[in-house]
């Protein structure tokens, strides 16, 4: 796991030393992602520079150093991630005459691009990756991201220069990156708790979407951000909606026993692939279905006790440590458990803006950061159970949305129209649940609208961000599947495309990379995703049991009582924090005078919610956390920008 960064000029104007120095600054900002090695490469005549920070996982020798050139000299690559099936690809390439100096997957990836081209290579890869590939012959830069979006990649314009990197802090190092806040994108943070790709908190800046390739040459860079249309320029080599539609058109036709056997085999292979490393490997274990199945399959395929890690919260109903301890004891793992106090958790909060670079308001970021720190003491790679909920109908909100969709169909159209008109005047009241929530969903065009209301924090964020209009996202679609599949399939697709990469995987990436730990998610092997999409709903949810088939497989490794128990989730007691130790901090950031001075939020509605929350209306903590995470981020961004501005020297 690593970090990459770079820049491409619209025309050559910097000497090679200047280009390399600037790329080096951008790369150094990502040292936490790859503390083991650093490298830069530049071509002043082409106006291109690449930087790389390496966390050595495979081939720890200097032969894995990046940026790396292909054997024929045409391509130069900076690569963040892992290609799990690199050994099979290497064997196929060797049979075609390719020779290798080392044993890294980076060298295999370059040879594959030489042999098959970039898009064909990416479809052959089973892995997680963000790629910056420079073609020296055609003078063209290609940026690519894996199918699911496990590894991040930002890009944007600093003045007239294209800058890109694994995290925004690398883009900030360019002296011309003074891009302000994209207020439209900010509305999505308030609604969802994160900003979905291709949007970014900064103007003239974007995220590369999962499964996409973006090609840019000097002419495209010169055209600038105003001419850039990410939805048109980012071309898919894999499309989740199309893959799901194809799976639905050829549904699984075997018996339940056949499905269980096939899923078991896929899971075991996906886990085995992700256990390959030249450094210690462990697993995050919460005791829930997803992490337990990963731990079980790791231990079943290991001759030694695997390393497992969990944390517990003192005096909190969020404590999952006893469940994890029970599973670890049954599997005989080498288990490490750490109990943290509220003070331990709250100490992480001031670090969140620098850890995430972009305002991010999923409060489970705090316990995730703590367990990542714990794991890094013993291992360099940790597997997680991310993806099980989105693929196997694991969220209770899916059930609630289907219930409301059925109720919606029972209400006569004239009454629905009247209720929808009423809802437009209710503002944020639908967050309180009950009748208000049903009224808010009366005007729904499809399951997408029902589900959007279920997962929204602010229901009308554009009303509170001054001068903003909320842009379209995947959750804006009335039917995310365009008529294919069931409403349940449509909701799971929406989460797979947006919530999974831009919330869950972003959270894991930033918290693990902050401590130089590589996170791997075997349940998100693309073969498992496409198999899950082919299954009927009753193999995912049956008689009140969610993730039905996953649990049937897990029963092969754990006793039933450890499998069939309630889902607790991996959360954080935000409401208690804001009423307790964080109250003064939050009060400063949400002060009416401060909001008015900053001029980003409408001060009155935000201050009113803060007052209502402090008077006992508990529902508002999710609204407030989104605003707080932006406010804290804005302070951090201003400080980081000032540091760049004060740096001596110029690259112009």
Catalytic residue ranges: 2
DSSP three-state, residue 77: strand
Q: Which residues lie below 8 Å from residue 616, measured CB to CB, with a gap of 6+?
A: none
Question: Rg (Cα) of the chain, in Å, rounded?
Answer: 24
Contact 197, 210 (CB under 8 A): yes
Tokens describing residue 401 = 């949305």
The gap from C-alpha 366 to its chain's centroid, in whole angstroms, comes to 15
For residues 483, 486, 489, 491, the Cα torsion angle rounded to the nearest 10 degrees is 80
Residue 194: name the closest of 572, 500, 587 by CA: 500
**Which residues, in sequence order, are bridge partners of residue 204?**
none
Tokens describing residue 631 = 């406010």
Tokens describing residue 594 = 């401060």
For residues 584, 589, 595, 597, the Cα torsion angle rounded to the nearest 10 degrees is 100
Write out the E strands in 293-345. Answer: 307-313, 334-340
Instruction: Tell me how far apart the alpha carbons of residues 151 and 131 are, in angstroms, rounded to a whole number.
Output: 9
DSSP three-state, residue 82: strand
Burial class (CB in 10 A: 0-12, 13-18, 19+), 478: middle
DSSP three-state, residue 101: coil
Is the omega angle on the peptide bond into residue 67 within 30 degrees of 0, that is, cis?
yes
DSSP three-state, residue 316: coil
245's enclosing H/E stretch is helix 240-249
Instruction: Tell me how far apart the alpha carbons of residues 635 and 642 are, in angstroms, rounded to a whole number.
Output: 11
């Amino acid at each position: 796991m690593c970090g990459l960064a770079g820049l491409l000029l619209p025309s050559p104007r910097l000497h090679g030393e200047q280009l390399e120095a600037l790329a080096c600054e951008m790369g150094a900002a990502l040292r936490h992602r790859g503390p083991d090695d650093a490298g830069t490469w530049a071509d002043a005549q082409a106006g291109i520079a690449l930087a790389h920070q390496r966390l050595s996982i495979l081939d720890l020798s200097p032969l894995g150093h990046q940026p790396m050139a292909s054997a024929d000299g045409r391509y130069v690559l900076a690569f963040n991630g892992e290609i799990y099936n690199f050994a099979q690809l290497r064997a196929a390439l060797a049979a075609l005459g390719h020779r290798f100096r080392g044993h890294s997957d980076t060298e295999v990836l370059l040879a594959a691009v030489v042999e098959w081209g970039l898009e064909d290579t990416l479809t052959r890869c089973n892995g997680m990756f963000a790629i910056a590939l420079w073609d020296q012959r055609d003078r063209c830069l290609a940026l690519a991201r894996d199918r699911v979006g496990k590894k991040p990649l930002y890009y944007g314009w600093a003045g007239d220069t294209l800058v890109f990197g694994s995290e925004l802090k690398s883009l900030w190092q360019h002296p011309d990156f003074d891009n302000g806040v994209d207020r439209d994108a900010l509305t999505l943070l308030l609604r969802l708790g994160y900003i979905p790709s291709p949007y970014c908190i900064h103007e003239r800046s974007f995220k590369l979407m999962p499964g996409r390739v973006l090609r840019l040459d000097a002419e495209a860079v010169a055209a600038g951000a105003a001419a850039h249309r990410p939805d048109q320029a980012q071309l898919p080599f894999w499309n989740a909606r199309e893959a799901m539609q194809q799976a639905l058109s050829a549904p699984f036709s075997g018996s339940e026993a056949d499905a269980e056997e096939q899923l078991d085999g896929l899971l075991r292979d996906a886990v085995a692939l992700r256990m390959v490393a030249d450094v210690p490997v462990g697993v995050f274990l919460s005791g829930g279905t997803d992490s337990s199945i990963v731990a079980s399959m790791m231990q079943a395929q290991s001759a030694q006790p695997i390393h497992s890690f969990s944390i517990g919260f003192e005096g909190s109903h969020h404590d999952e440590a006893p469940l994890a301890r029970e599973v670890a004891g049954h599997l005989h793992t080498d288990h490490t458990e750490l109990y943290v106090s509220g003070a331990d958790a709250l100490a992480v909060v001031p670090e969140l803006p620098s850890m995430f670079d972009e305002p991010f308001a999923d409060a489970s970021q705090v316990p995730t950061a703590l367990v990542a720190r714990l794991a890094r003491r013993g291992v360099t790679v940790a597997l997680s159970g991310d993806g099980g909920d989105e693929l196997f109908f694991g969220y209770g909100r899916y059930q609630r949305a289907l219930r409301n969709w059925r109720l919606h169909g029972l209400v006569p159209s004239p009454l629905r129209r009247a209720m929808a008109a009423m809802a437009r005047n209710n503002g944020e009241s639908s967050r309180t649940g009950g009748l208000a929530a049903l009224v808010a969903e009366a005007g729904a065009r499809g399951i997408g609208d029902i589900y959007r209301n279920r997962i929204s924090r602010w229901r009308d964020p554009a009303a509170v961000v001054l001068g903003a209009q909320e842009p379209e996202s995947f959750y804006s679609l009335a039917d995310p599947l365009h008529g294919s599949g069931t409403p349940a399939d449509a909701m799971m697709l929406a989460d797979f495309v947006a919530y999974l990469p831009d919330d869950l995987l972003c959270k894991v990436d930033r918290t693990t990379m902050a401590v130089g730990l590589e996170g791997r998610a075997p349940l998100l092997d693309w073969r498992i995703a496409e198999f899950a999409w082919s299954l009927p709903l009753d193999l995912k949810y049956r008689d009140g049991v969610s993730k039905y088939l996953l649990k049937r497989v897990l029963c092969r490794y754990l006793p039933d009582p450890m499998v069939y128990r309630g889902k607790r989730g991996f959360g954080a007691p935000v409401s208690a924090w804001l009423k307790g130790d964080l109250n003064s901090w939050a009060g400063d950031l949400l002060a009416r005078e401060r909001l008015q001075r900053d001029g980003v939020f409408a001060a009155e509605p935000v201050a009113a919610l803060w007052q209502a929350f402090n008077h006992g209306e508990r529902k508002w903590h999710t609204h407030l956390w989104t605003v707080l995470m932006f406010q804290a981020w804005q302070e951090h961004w201003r400080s980081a920008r000032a540091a760049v501005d004060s740096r001596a020297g110029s690259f112009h």
